Structure 1
């Protein structure tokens, strides 16, 4: 299993009455992929730029796709740009993978709150148990990514323990994810303010 798959599983498994924003999850999944690629030595970082390593066979097909999507000519891509580019459509791709691997099934009348359009339900599997254990054990990478997008294990206190990532490259990716989530939140606020202003203008005009 990989960090992106674990992140999606815990999102589906622990969210209750809360919808994880699709954009937030997209960015976090792309960051999780980058961290796993670092762990596999498929990439390195030069400052904040992703430097591809030699092509390596990876055990996960989604990570293979991520590696094949790397910018392999200098100047290399900054982590932040990778998150936005790679994250586009990524949650749907991982949901498809869970379904194809038999770790999630479609239910006609049940909807997970990860996506309002999703009708996938997790099955009882070793992958699900592993992801849940990883979150509950407060593993730093998964805990940080989950907290960043509003996922909290209901079996833990409301205030999760502060986790620390000692690896500099991993910490750089996590910081980039946090920055990108902040940018997305600002853009959402701007859109909401524009909608409110347009609504108020229409009211003044009698519409």
Structure 2
């Protein structure tokens, strides 16, 4: 299993915290893919640019799609741009893939049969591995989980990483999630102001 799939599985694990926003999760999944590609030697991060290396041929279909989508011509793609481009609707893609693999099941929340539907992980070796990484505090997974509001840590408390590329990607994920939240807040303010205009004094 990839870091991205582990992240998705812990994001839908039932717990006391709030649901993870799909936009936030998509950005973090794109970051997780990039970190796995760095680990496989498929890419390097030079300053803030993603420099493709040799093909790694990952077994994971979504990770292979990510590798195939790399920009291979100079000046190459910035990490931030990758997160926004690759991250578009990525949470939905992972949900579909994990449901197809039998790692997720759909359930209705609440007592009513027509209540809202959600997915939850099936108790499989993959799910236990993801939970194990989380409980052990594996730094990369913990940092990406923190970026989307999973766990009690704050972004400014994340540990450094031995690999500067990983440090840069994690920082870019945090920045992108904060930018997305700023966009949400701005839209909320604008919508409230628009509603007040129509409501009148």
| TM-score, normalised relative to structure 1 | 0.87
Question: What do the CA deviations read for 1:21-69 (whole angstroms, capped 9, x no partner)?
Answer: 1110010000000000000000011110001112221121111000001
Q: Is the 8 A contact 2:9 2:130 kept in 1?
A: yes
Partner of 1:135: 134
Kept after mapping to 2: 8 A contact 1:105/1:123: yes
Task: Output one character per residue of 1:103-148: Cα deviation in whole Å (capped at 9) or x when no partner.
Answer: 11233x248xxxx976323111111111111011111110011011
Instruction: Write the distance in 2 (CA, Å) between the matches of 1:15 and 1:64.
Output: 31
Q: What CA RMSD, in Å, does the superposition of the two structures yield over aligned residues? A: 2.0
Matched residue SS, 1:72 = coil
Q: Structure 1's 79 and 118: CA in aligned 2 closer, same or farther, altered over 3 A? A: farther
Write the distance in 2 (CA, Å) between the matches of 1:117 and 1:89: 20
For residues 87 and 41 of structure 1, the distance between their equivalents in structure 2, rounded to whole angstroms, comes to 21
Specify the alignment match of 2:122 in structure 1: 123
2:51 match: secondary structure: strand
Deviation track 1:53-100 (CA, whole Å, cap 9, x = no partner) reads 122211211110000011111110000000000001111111111111
Q: Displacement, 1:159?
A: 5.1
Q: Name the counterpart of 1:18.
A: 18
Partner SS for 2:91: helix
Contact 1:3 1:142 in 2 (8 A): yes
1:110–1:121 CA contact under 8 A, matched in 2: no
Aligned residues: 195
Gaps of 5+ in 1: 153-157
Counterpart of 2:77 in 1: which secondary structure? Answer: coil
- 1:52-131 matched pairs, under 5 angstroms: 52-107=52-107, 109-110=108-109, 119-131=118-130
In structure 2, stretches of 5+ residues that fail to align are: none
